[in-house]
Amino acid sequence: MIDFGTKVVAGVTPGRGGTKVEGVPVFDSVREAVHRRRANASIIFVPAPYAKDAAIEAIEGGLKLVVIITERIPFHDCLDLMPYARSRGCTVIGPNCPGLASPGQAKMGIMPNQLFKEGDAGVISRSGTLTYEIVNAMTEAGFGQTTCIGIGGDPIIGTSMVDALAMFQKDRKTKRIVVVGEIGGTAEEEAADFIKRRVTKPVVAYVAGRTAPPGKRMGHAGAIIQGNRGTAESKVKAFEEAGVPVAEYPVGIPKLLAAT
Amino acid sequence: MKFLEYKAKEIFARYGIPIPRGAIASTPDGIVNPPLPCMVKAQVLVGGRGKAGGIKPAESLDEARSVVGQILGMDIHGYRVKEVYLEERLDIGRELYLGLTIDRSAREPLLMASAKGGIDIEAVPRDQIYMEHIPAEVGIQPYVLRSLLKQLGLAKEVGEQFASVVTNAYYLFRKEDAELVEINPLVVTKDGRVVAGDAKLVIDDNAEYRHPEYANLDQDRTPLEQEAHDKGITFIQLDGDIGVIANGAGLTMATLDILSLKGGKGGTFLDLGGTDDPAKVKQAFELLIKANPSVILLNIFGGITKADTVALGVKQALEEMHTKIPVVARIKGVNEAQAKEMLRSIGTYPAETVEEAAELAVKVKSGGA
């Protein structure tokens, strides 16, 4: 993150206050970090059982952007967490996500630095490593990124696909948008509907899980197909009806971008 | 975690939701104190058991024994019946529906109720299902219950019991980390009692650590899937023959999709997650080899994942298991060059991209590489 240009001003680990990691001072609490180092955003790697506590501490500490990388957080914890964040005007990204990166500016996440290149495409993804694959293909084909947001694969997330689309629509530097979806839930269908009504920038998409058998849970809490809802077919159809071309292969994204 | 009906009902009872009297049995002679006359109900983790012949009445103990004998061992949509539940026969007046789940888009719990219970809720017209979001920070408020009772047209006494069931079910939903609490039918007996006729309960797997008491419940996993679960590995057996292992759920799914586009069929979904610990990789590969695929397709796109330690795990597993199963490997990440060298030294087929790897896997399988 530091190599990417992020100003990492403090670390927080209870009991480790007073030490330093890579020259960055560590504090016992978020309050101290905010008070002493004026932190204004937080990235959370705390293990699942303690992540809710850490996130609430960060929100309560006045941070306005909180990225939760941690996977396997019980979703009932997120049911409590997200309304609290909203009530405090805090944007939460994740959980169970690779974070976000704005090439040339900063990164709050675990994506490999070398994949990115400055450019005019915004990337929204529910997945981690699949995003690396797609961003890598984009960069190789010359399509750089304004920001790449890994929104996370869990059922309850802080920033939805629609939220992220609205932000990219507003962002003047973003000229085109890439959406990486997967089976389960109805985020892609809602995104397609939002694109139809509100997004004027060109959008292209990829949907993972076309061959997943119904009823099987594929790792992500999000990746489960229930009946006819949330299937890959339904998502691809929704996108196509909204004028969003869907790539067959992840590496097909740059070709679709070239046509935008 | 899914729960069999009788297990779910035990939990319901703990939360004050009325359930019929019942007795569990796993052999015809193992029936102890059944309520008579009764309904004999197959206990399986799948819906539609009634239509499949898994629910039958019995009047006497003798009849119950014979019915239990018929139902035990039955195959219901691929699930073998190992236990039956003998339950008090209710004198049904009305059948209602009650469900609690989460609405991902609203990011809130969703309460669903209908006067049309006893049938598949998907078959009930939307306008006859009462739906209400319950903001987690406020919980169920009395006004929601009032409007619910009015919508369902429930008279005072029954209404009060129903409201109490809804409140308790919501409490259970939150306390037990449930994904789904469903009572269908929620029976109103002719003498005016509100009783849970059936019980569906699914608890968030990620919350397992908060509920160690449910750790040993039988889930619908294959023996290999169970072994993987116990080792903390995300592993699902599919009906194809190519063993797919990748890192990250999205990438693993995409790898299966690409394989299918190239004419192959995945036999496993194995998500290594963020691990690059050789011991863990080795465990994962051992599972994969036990699944006996015709080819193994490894697809790693590492960010902070160290490719060389993943390769080391692969090497150790292949050498120790003396397997002849060919491996096609596509690996990207930190120390990629060392990883590729190590994989080459043990005779795996290298590929630069996942498309290439998928094509190669299909070719190797048919003996063309």
Domain positions in chain B: 21-88, 92-213, 223-365
Residue A140 touches partner B, C-beta closer than 8 Å: no
Q: Which residue out of B44, B137, B233, B257 would a mutagenesis test of the A interface target, given it has the greatest number of A Cβ atoms within 10 Å?
A: B257
Name the closest residue on chain A to residue B122, using Cα atoms.
A227
Residues A62 and A89 in one domain: yes
| Helices A232-241 and A187-198, axial angle in degrees (round to 10) | 0
* Interatomic CA distance for residues B277 and B310, integer angstroms: 7
Q: Are strands A20-21 and B129-133 parallel, antiparallel or unpaired?
A: unpaired
**Mean pLDDT, residues A121-147:** 96
CA distance B158 to chain A (A): 31
* Interatomic CA distance for residues B275 and B221, integer angstroms: 23
- Tell me B119's DSSP state: S
Confidence at residue A216, expressed as pLDDT on a 0 to 100 scale = 59
- Tell me B255's DSSP state: H
pTM value surpassing 0.95: no
Confidence at residue A222, expressed as pLDDT on a 0 to 100 scale = 41
Q: Which of B102, B251, B260 sits opposite A133 (nearest CB)?
A: B251
* Interatomic CA distance for residues B67 and B64, integer angstroms: 5
CA distances from A60 to A63, B303, B325 (A): 7, 31, 54
* CA-angle at A55, arms to B106 and A98, nearest 5°: 75
Name the closest residue on chain A to residue B269, using Cα atoms.
A218
* CA-angle at A47, arms to A45 and A53, nearest 5°: 85
Q: What is the pLDDT of residues B112-150, one digit of tens each?
A: 999 999 888 888 888 999 999 999 999 999 999 999 999
Residues A133 and A19 in one domain: no
Take residue A70 and report the two structure tokens written for it: 């941690």
In this structure, is residue A4 part of a structural domain? no
Which domain-ending residue is among A93, A121, A137?
A: A93
Take residue A54 and report the two structure tokens written for it: 């850490």
Active site residues of B: 97, 182
Domain spanning B92-213: CATH superfamily: ATP-grasp fold, B domain (3.30.470.20)
Take residue B297 and report the two structure tokens written for it: 């397709």
In this structure, is residue A103 part of a structural domain? yes
SS3 B84: strand
Q: What is the pLDDT of residues A22-39, one digit of tens each?
A: 999 999 999 999 999 999
Q: Which of A186, A190, A212 sits opposite B253 (nearest CB)?
A: A212
Cβ <8 Å between B246 and A129 = yes
Band of pLDDT at residue A224, cut at 50, 70 and 90: very low
Looking up residue A157, the CATH number of its domain turns out to be 3.40.50.261
Residues A75 and A106 in one domain: no
Q: Which residue out of A59, A76, A116 would a mutagenesis test of the B interface target, given it has the greatest number of B Cβ atoms within 10 Å?
A: A76
Architecture of domain B21-88: 2-Layer Sandwich (3.30)
CA distances from B158 to A30, B9, B153, B187 (A): 51, 20, 10, 11
- The residues that bridge with A26 in the sheet, in sequence order, are A11
Residue A190 touches partner B, C-beta closer than 8 Å: yes
Residues A176 and A254 in one domain: yes
Active site residues of A: 220
**A217 in the Ramachandran plot: left (φ > 0), alpha (ψ -120 to 50) or beta?**
beta
Q: Which of A49, A84, A130 sits opposite B248 (nearest CB)?
A: A130
Cβ <8 Å between B236 and A183 = no
Secondary-structure breakdown of chain A: helix, strand, coil percentages, each rounded to the nearest 5:
35, 25, 40
* Interatomic CA distance for residues B292 and B27, integer angstroms: 35
Confidence at residue A215, expressed as pLDDT on a 0 to 100 scale = 61
Residues A122 and A74 in one domain: no
Name the closest residue on chain A to residue B107, using Cα atoms.
A156
- Helix residue spans in B179-277 (DSSP H): 223-230, 249-261
Q: What is the pLDDT of residues B288-308, one digit of tens each?
A: 999 999 999 999 998 777 889
SS3 B224: helix
CA distance A142 to chain B (A): 18
Q: Which of B136, B247, B261 sits opposite A129 (nearest CB)?
A: B247
Which domain-ending residue is among A50, A65, A93?
A: A93
* Interatomic CA distance for residues B323 and B345, integer angstroms: 15
Distance of CA B302 to the CA centre of its chain: 29
Give the A window 142-171 contacts with B, CB below 8 Å: 153, 155-157, 160
Which residues of chain B have a CB within 8 Å of the CB of A111?
303
SS3 A179: strand
Q: Which of A183, A206, A221 sits opposite B206 (nearest CB)?
A: A221
In this structure, is residue A2 part of a structural domain? no
Mean pLDDT, each 10-residue run in order, chain B (369 residues): 96 98 96 95 91 95 96 92 96 96 92 91 87 95 95 93 98 97 96 96 94 86 90 91 94 96 95 87 93 96 84 90 92 89 92 96 85
* Interatomic CA distance for residues B131 and B200, integer angstroms: 18
Q: Find, among B111, B101, B93, B227, the residue nearest to B163 by Cα.
A: B111
Confidence at residue B46, expressed as pLDDT on a 0 to 100 scale = 84
| Helices B156-175 and B5-14, axial angle in degrees (round to 10) | 100
CA distance A206 to chain B (A): 10
Q: Find, among B89, B87, B31, the residue nearest to B62 by Cα.
A: B31
Range in A6-15, A48-57, B12-21, B270-279 with the lowest mean pLDDT: B270-279
Q: Is there a contact between B225 and B250 (Cβ–Cβ < 8 Å)? A: no
Take residue A91 and report the two structure tokens written for it: 């944007």
Residues A80 and A192 in one domain: no
Which residues of chain A have a CB within 8 Å of the CB of B331?
none
Q: Which residues contact A207 (CB under 8 A, 6 or more apart)?
A: A181, A182, A183, A188, A232, A235, A236, A239, A246
Residues A88 and A119 in one domain: no
Q: What is the pLDDT of residues B145-198, one digit of tens each?
A: 999 999 999 988 999 999 999 999 999 999 999 999 999 999 999 999 999 999
Q: Is there a contact between A54 and A44 (Cβ–Cβ < 8 Å)? A: yes
* Full residue range of the structural domain in which residue A79 is found: 11-93
Confidence at residue B275, expressed as pLDDT on a 0 to 100 scale = 82
Confidence at residue A218, expressed as pLDDT on a 0 to 100 scale = 52
Place of tokens 């739906």: B131
* Interatomic CA distance for residues B348 and B330, integer angstroms: 10
Architecture of domain B223-365: 3-Layer(aba) Sandwich (3.40)
* CA-angle at A174, arms to A169 and A175, nearest 5°: 90
Residue A132 touches partner B, C-beta closer than 8 Å: yes
Residue A96 touches partner B, C-beta closer than 8 Å: no
Residue A125 touches partner B, C-beta closer than 8 Å: yes
* Interatomic CA distance for residues B139 and B109, integer angstroms: 9
Cβ <8 Å between A248 and B261 = yes
Q: Find, among B148, B43, B46, B141, the residue nearest to B96 by Cα.
A: B148
Q: Which of B105, B204, B249 sits opposite A219 (nearest CB)?
A: B249
In this structure, is residue A77 part of a structural domain? yes
Residue A226 has pLDDT above 80, yes or no: no
Q: Which residues contact B6 (CB under 8 A, 6 or more apart)?
A: B22, B24, B43, B83, B85
Q: Which residue out of B301, B306, B332, B352 would a mutagenesis test of the A interface target, given it has the greatest number of A Cβ atoms within 10 Å?
A: B301
Name the closest residue on chain B to residue A215, using Cα atoms.
B46
ipTM tops the 0.90 cut: yes
Looking up residue A40, the CATH number of its domain turns out to be 3.40.50.720
Residue A250 touches partner B, C-beta closer than 8 Å: yes
Residue A122 touches partner B, C-beta closer than 8 Å: no
Which residues of chain A have a CB within 8 Å of the CB of B263?
none
In this structure, is residue A55 part of a structural domain? yes
* Interatomic CA distance for residues B69 and B81, integer angstroms: 11
**A194 in the Ramachandran plot: left (φ > 0), alpha (ψ -120 to 50) or beta?**
alpha
Q: Which of B205, B250, B266 sits opposite A126 (nearest CB)?
A: B250
Percent of chain A with pLDDT over 70: 94
In this structure, is residue A249 part of a structural domain? yes
Residues A167 and A220 in one domain: yes
Confidence at residue B302, expressed as pLDDT on a 0 to 100 scale = 81
* CA-angle at A146, arms to A153 and A38, nearest 5°: 80
CA distances from A4 to A109, A174, B152 (A): 10, 20, 58
Domain count, chain A: 2
Taking one residue from A and the other from B, the number of pairs with CB-CB distance under 8 angstroms is 154
Cβ <8 Å between A112 and B137 = no
Cβ <8 Å between B303 and A251 = no
Q: Helices H, strands E: what count in chain A?
A: 8, 13
Residues A134 and A238 in one domain: yes
Name the closest residue on chain B to residue A152, using Cα atoms.
B250
Confidence at residue A220, expressed as pLDDT on a 0 to 100 scale = 45
Which domain-ending residue is among A36, A63, A93?
A: A93
Residues A40 and A56 in one domain: yes
* Interatomic CA distance for residues B270 and B253, integer angstroms: 9
Residues A191 and A69 in one domain: no
**Mean pLDDT, residues A3-16:** 96
What are the DSSP E strand ranges found in chain A? Answer: 11-12, 20-21, 24-27, 41-44, 65-68, 91-93, 99-102, 106-109, 118-125, 145-150, 176-182, 203-208, 246-247
CA distance A199 to chain B (A): 19
Residues A66 and A130 in one domain: no
Name the closest residue on chain A to residue B211, using Cα atoms.
A74
Burial of residue A97 (number of CB atoms within 10 Å: 0-12, 13-18, 19+) = buried
